[in-house]
Structure 1
Amino acid sequence: MNIRGFVKQLNFWQLFRLAKILIQNPLFIYPTLQATRKTLVICDALYKKEHHRNGKANAFRHALWNIWICLAIFKRTNNKEKSTNWAKKITDLHEKLAPNSAIEKEMDLHNNKIGRQYFFNLSTTSEEEIVAFLKQNTQKAKRITDLKEISNHKNNLVYLLEE
């Protein structure tokens, strides 16, 4: 999720799609970038490079990223629906543009969604409590080996690799 590296790998049409979304909500760009940086700092501190693989640490990162984006936008809008819609739009686009396999993409989309679901109950919780809550739920994450299995875990984070 290195922002600069991610943007550099995009072709013209992918950049156009990203720009189109960002232009529609220019006031959301900076908070989204801050949320992204915060996510990476926390994940690097907790998991080193493990969060770049497809294990539990990766599930944690995706959920946390969505929570932080939702919280950042919620501070500006005071509207949970707008916050989660924006986080979905940005993180779904990221997954569409990322060079992942089908199962990796679906896993990431699922964990993003779980993060947005958690946000609804965590919007007034301290950052430390959010991280602790998410770490606890990450331990309950379910390992999957097939795309079809994701639908069996509607309320849990999922991952592919044992760490």
Structure 2
Amino acid sequence: MPFYGADVDQLKALSKALANGASLLTSRARELDSLIGQGMTGQGGGWQGQDAKRFAADWQGRLRPLLERTMRGLEEASQSVLTNADQQSSASTEGSGDSGSSDSGSGGSGSSDSGSGGSGDDATTKTAANPNPDQPTPQEILDKYQVSDAETTNWPGDWDPLRFVVDQREVTEKEAELLNGLGPFEMNAFKGIHDDAFSTADDRFPSDDRNDDQNDAFRHAYWNALMVKEFGADWAEDYATAHEQLPGNPAPREAMDLYNNEVGRNVAIANPDASAEELADLIEEAVNNGDTVVVGQDLLPHPSNEVPMDQTGDANNAEPAPGEDPEFNDESRTTS
């Protein structure tokens, strides 16, 4: 039922926390599956023997189903709270008269709170001036979505066996820390997510350049959504943010990427049961609706439905901008 009189932002924060909890439990369950599998097959020096076999049987027969029910309960609670937030937002809009367009919980609902008279004309005027009043202005996005430069390292390290299967590249130290915490199965999933993000972006928004346009916006948002689904929201946020700390990142491109990363994570958090294909559909809809941003000719991040794909700007030679040190969730994983 609705939380009457509740603060919409607090409800959305609660929904996010519940979804993050479900994602974290899912990730930990997969880690334990991997460790048990290593022990049963004798690979990687995992736990072996009769006690290990008894625990594996208890895990599969009793403990994991119990954990799955808990995860589903958290996901359902997250969705229920988010629905309540939307209902509360709609109720507030209906009761607030012409102020609804600035106080509503979603960009479109504020302009539809009245269907007659002068207030309807006023809503039309507001929509024309700013189709999504809750979205920051291009200059605000450019200024807000910047992070500080970080120290870098070559990953995998020179003596890391991963070099036989992964090309060494320059990453931030935080990226390396997070990647080193992934187990072999998770590393394979991480690579698959990267490849899927590129190929799906090319299928849905073909682009010769792949930078600063709708292909780029979709790719970053979808990449983050898939990372939330596989590794949890906290890890996805940490990795995507650390990635943008590479020195020399042009300011418009960094702002665009950080903003679209956030959009993708929010889509996945709000739809915890969505398949990868369903997430791709939702992200494509977000791009077409202008919920993501692209770089305009003025080198500012604009809603992705306001700049045609063949008229986006080129931020390659834009100057970097100073940014704040990010506050990481410290969800580094240690499964290997």
- Superposed pair shares fold, TM > 0.5: yes
Higher relative contact order (CA 8 A, sep 6+): 1
- Structure 2: stretches of 5+ with no match in the other structure: 1-166, 310-336
1:72 to 227, 230, 233: 230
Q: CA deviation at 1:137?
A: 1.4
1:21 to 157, 163, 178: 178
Counterpart of 2:224, as a letter, is N
In the aligned structure 2, how far is the partner of 1:101 from the partner of 1:158?
19
Partner of residue 47, structure 2: none
Q: CA deviation at 1:15?
A: 6.0
Counterpart of 1:92, as a letter, is T
Contact kept? 1:59, 1:159, Cα under 8 Å: no
Partner of residue 78, structure 1: none
Contact kept? 1:63, 1:111, Cα under 8 Å: yes
Counterpart of 1:23, as a letter, is N
Question: Number of paired residues?
Answer: 140
Q: CA deviation at 1:68?
A: 0.8
Contact kept? 1:43, 1:61, Cα under 8 Å: yes
Partner of residue 84, structure 1: 233
For the pair 1:56 / 2:205, whether they are aligned, the reply is: no
Over 3 Å counting, the alpha-carbon distance change for 1:134 and 1:17 in structure 2 is closer
Q: CA deviation at 1:101?
A: 0.6
What secondary structure sits across from 2:205 in the alignment?
A: helix
Q: CA deviation at 1:67?
A: 0.7
Question: Within 5 A, what are the aligned runs for 1:147-158?
Answer: none
Over 3 Å counting, the alpha-carbon distance change for 1:72 and 1:143 in structure 2 is closer
Counterpart of 1:19, as a letter, is A
Partner of residue 3, structure 1: none
Per-residue CA deviation, residues 50-75 of structure 1 (Å, 9 max, x unaligned), is 571211221111110001111122xx
Partner of residue 194, structure 2: 36
In the aligned structure 2, how far is the partner of 1:29 from the partner of 1:87?
14
Contact kept? 2:204, 2:284, Cα under 8 Å: no
Q: CA deviation at 1:128?
A: 2.8
Partner of residue 260, structure 2: 111
Partner of residue 140, structure 1: 289
In the aligned structure 1, how far is the partner of 2:203 from the partner of 2:282?
17
TM-score, with length taken from structure 2: 0.36
Counterpart of 1:26, as a letter, is G
Q: CA deviation at 1:114?
A: 0.8
TM-score, with length taken from structure 1: 0.69
- Structure 1: stretches of 5+ with no match in the other structure: 1-6, 74-82
Contact kept? 2:267, 2:279, Cα under 8 Å: no
Q: Matched residues, percent identical?
A: 22
CA RMSD of aligned residues (A): 3.2
In the aligned structure 2, how far is the partner of 1:57 from the partner of 1:129?
18
Name the one with the larger helix percent: 1
Over 3 Å counting, the alpha-carbon distance change for 1:91 and 1:160 in structure 2 is farther
Counterpart of 1:32, as a letter, is F
Over 3 Å counting, the alpha-carbon distance change for 1:84 and 1:45 in structure 2 is same
Q: CA deviation at 1:36?
A: 1.1
Partner of residue 122, structure 1: 271
